[in-house]
Structure 1
Amino acid sequence: MEIQFNSQQQLQAAKISNDTVMGGISSSEINRDKRQDKPVFSGNVSLANNGGFASMEYRLLAIIPRANAVKLTVIGDGKRYQLRFKTPKLSFGEAYVAHFNTIAGQRTEHRFTAGDFNSQFRGRNVNAPELLFEDIDRVGLLIADKQQGDFSLMLDTMTFTD
């Protein structure tokens, strides 16, 4: 099953959550690249006031079928990001997290299995039920890891496969 990040039938409008919830001053937004008709998650990460992250999250409207892997396709900026999945089995704030690196200006594909994800809360590993892709109801992206400055990540597709 392929999810198009520009699909309003598959995804609810994304919500932004930055370090401002804890006193930081990072900023981010999601805009549409008109030429490619794709959403772009962009902004500025600041380390001021103990900040240092920007994130966004979509609620899935589509049901994910049983799958063994997921492929994420993006056009990046050379920075490292987190792909974050949430399920109803998690407590508030926890997520299944996998990291990926981008190449500035290039479309890249990143393939993950459930074993590539760690359950985390605020950057620390936590115990959680096993990740099953068919349980996913929210998909997010986060930039952190002291990567100060501007960032931009164009979102293309996410494909769940056997």
Structure 2
Amino acid sequence: MSLTVYLSGEIHTDWREQIEQGAKDACLDIQFTRPVTDHAASDAAGDLLGEEDKQFWRDHKSAKVNAIRIKTLLEQADVAVVRFGDKYKQWNAAFDAGYCAALGTPYITLHDEGLIHPLKEVDAAAMAWATTPEQVVGILKHVTRD
């Protein structure tokens, strides 16, 4: 089975690379997609539409430009992995999980046990909750097995 897997969420650690390498090592037929993970480039996505005096409007334009990529890739995904890190609040990741739930796209949450309570609704709609990238690879291996 071939899958397209969208990797959403936290951008400050190498969890995406760990999952991609684990899938490659397991010879899984998976195409991975992701949002723009360069923080500065993501924040500046709307700047090409003109400078803004107020931060709200700069963020608003950048969020919309980024959403073109994110919505398109989420709609094309067979499965999403939504990572919540402990250092920053990932409101965008929660939004992506909600969008997956609305689309009927299965998703796996990836976070440590310290976030169980704040993510209880997000986890309740997920097909699985993993605490490590290796667990995600194990799930993907199971799902794609013949």
Bigger share in strand: 1
What TM-score comes out, normalization by structure 2 length? 0.28
Bigger share in helix: 2
Which one has the largest radius of gyration?
A: 2
